[in-house]
Amino acid sequence: MRREIFAAAVLAALVCGCEYAPRALPLDMDGPTAEWPEYGGDKGAQRYSPLDQITPENVARLDVAWEYRHGDAADGRGEYKRTSFQATPIVVDERLYFCTAFNRVISLDPRTGRELWKFDPELAAKSGPGPYPLTCRGVAHWSDTKPALQGTCRARIFTGTRDAELIALDARTGLPCADFGKNGRVPLREGLGAHEEWEYYPTSAPLVIDDVVVVGALVADNVRVDAPGGVVRAFDVRSGALRWAWDPVAPGASAPEDGRRYAAGTPNVWAPLSADAERGIVYVPTGNPSPDLFGGERDGIDHYGSSVVALDAADGTVRWYFQTVHHDVWDYDVPTPPSLFSHAGVGGGRPALAQPTKMGHVFLLDSTTGEPLYPIEERIVPGDGVAGEQLSRTQPFPTHPPSLHPARLDIDDAFGFHPFDTADCKDRIAALRNDGLFTPPSLTGTLQYPGSAGGPNWGGVSIDPMAGVMFVNQMHSAAVVTLIPREEFDALDADSAVYPEELYPMKGTPYGVKRSPLLSSAGAPCNPPPWGTLTAVDLATGKTLWRSNLGTTRDQAPWPMWLDLGAPNLGGSVVTAGGLVFIGATTDKFFRAFDARNGQEVWRRRIPYTASATPATYRLSADDKQMVVVAAGGHGWSQPGDALIAYALRD
């Protein structure tokens, strides 16, 4: 009907010979309403919203509704190290909640952006070595339905901090819940053995299921063999008492002999969690045992490494697990929350789980049993690692969908902006060991493609469950990994390495390691563009529906080198019933919307900092507009910032 009205108006203008200015159609206020109560939209991390007020036809009218600046940004010159504002806000009970890189928790009026309260944990740990910027990706909400608890802290916000504490706050006031742990705080370092404060702390949002709050943590990569373990723990939401702990060691493993409660060096769980509340399952994406890039000293602790693990929410026992990489020595840990969905055309309509990995693989599993919904092939891969390594001779490859990322970068693929640049990249590729995906780290230097940042990373995927379509953003860049014999490494000045070049000691092994992106002399990736993509996959057929370049060289390259070649990206997408995919994530300062049907970029807006975060969308009532909100706060590769920006359609 709208198209007929528009055509009639244009025809009338031509007949009368007068000038015509198109008139915006009235805003449709009849559609559904929805909040955004979980980090991933729902507990299953689907990142789908039923809201349909904003569409490809009217998205051009999307403009800033409000902007909030929290002030928690640092560039490394003060007492805090570099920050990245990566939070996805949650919106529940008509309140918006998020955390900053300094672990302050803030509540806003989601309609206006007006501050309601803020809580400052007053961090003791403000800095530390390593490439990681300070960050907090999200918080969790819980509300008690028991009549006896209708007062203070009936609704709670949970957050993890850089000081490795789990904190419970009153959702209405922001005050600590005195009955939770000690004055609202539960320490998370207990039982992990001696370690530096920067080696262990949570960065992703806690997850609430039933009456427990579940939390994992980052463990610093490649520091030492006996790093803090990757235990996942569940605490009572009211008292903070420990309800269960899952120590990711092989079944039947003996207890630690060094006085720790939890085993050292086990796979950590730094990425966001997801859950099936109806079936009482927590889904855990695991990382690598310590260290990441040499596994000769692991002695079996990688049983659950680089896996998706289903835990019983009541007691933490393992219901099933699926390993995406065997004996991972590439830092190809599982970085994304497992996404739950169900569609009649996928696996016969069985409850399904999509698990993306950094290699561009997406494993579709039965979420109740872990059984693959489609064939997975164990393929032979290079098996000759350095002395002391014990590589797996095969690795799992999904067939439906097939890998979404190229598995090899050859000399003839070398890219350059001019012939000299291309020749330089060819020489660099030729000098490296390069046997395709899963080429082992070597003493002479190994080409790793994709690099350990992905492919996909913690932004994960969004899934339209009605259409059975998955949307995934990836970066496309190669890396160089070089193992360095211990005596030679110890003679180096590791502090002299400047990001993105990384030097790691891997203490307790015969090697240290150097890792860096594979760049030309001009500073551009040696692999051909696009360097960032957004891809739509039909989950029923496994086929790619479309792939669009995501991002430009702007804000990284000087003008006039602003090219639509795609860009490295960290963060994720949201898909709506209105037919749009919203995403920031890129190294250029833009927030974008794509038409979910064809991948056309239909809207973009300049933002003050890069949006290395995943957006959220909500509409509180029939009288409200749909809003889309995103954190713009930079990353290690861009200027740190502090902007939370909400968009809505102009009247």
pLDDT digits (tens, 9 = 90+) for 142-154: 999 775 555 789 9
- Residues 9 and 22: their CA atoms lie apart, in Å, by 8
Q: Which domains does the chain have, with CATH numbers?
A: 2-649 (2.140.10.10)
Contact 124, 102 (CB under 8 A): no
Predicted local confidence at residue 15, as pLDDT: 34
What pLDDT does residue 139 have? 98
The confidence band for 561, taking pLDDT boundaries of 50, 70 and 90, is confident
Distance between CA 586 and CA 114 in Å, rounded? 28
Q: What is the pLDDT of residue 130?
A: 60
Q: Per-residue pLDDT tens for 483-493?
A: 999 999 999 98
The answer, yes or no, to whether residue 23 has pLDDT greater than 60, is no
pLDDT tens, 434-471? 999 999 999 999 999 999 999 999 999 999 999 999 99
Q: Which is catalytic among the residues 42, 163, 328, 331?
A: 331
In this structure, the strands spanning 394-398 and 376-380 are antiparallel
CB 385 within 8 A of CB 327: no
109 in active site: no
Q: Is 85 in contact with 610 (CB distance < 8 Å)?
A: no
pLDDT higher than 80, residue 80 = no
pLDDT tens-digit map of 379-412:
999 989 999 999 999 999 999 999 999 999 999 9
- To the nearest whole number, what is the mean pLDDT of the chain? 92
Which residues, 6 or more positions from 153, have their beta carbon under 8 angstroms from its beta carbon? 168, 170, 171, 177, 178, 179, 180
368-to-48, 350, 371, 540 alpha-carbon distances in Å: 21, 9, 8, 19
What are the φ and ψ backbone dihedral angles of 561, each rounded to 5 degrees?
Answer: -85, 40
pLDDT at 268 over 90: yes
CA distance 626 to 632: 19
The amino acid at residue 265 is G
**What is the three-class DSSP state of 460?**
coil
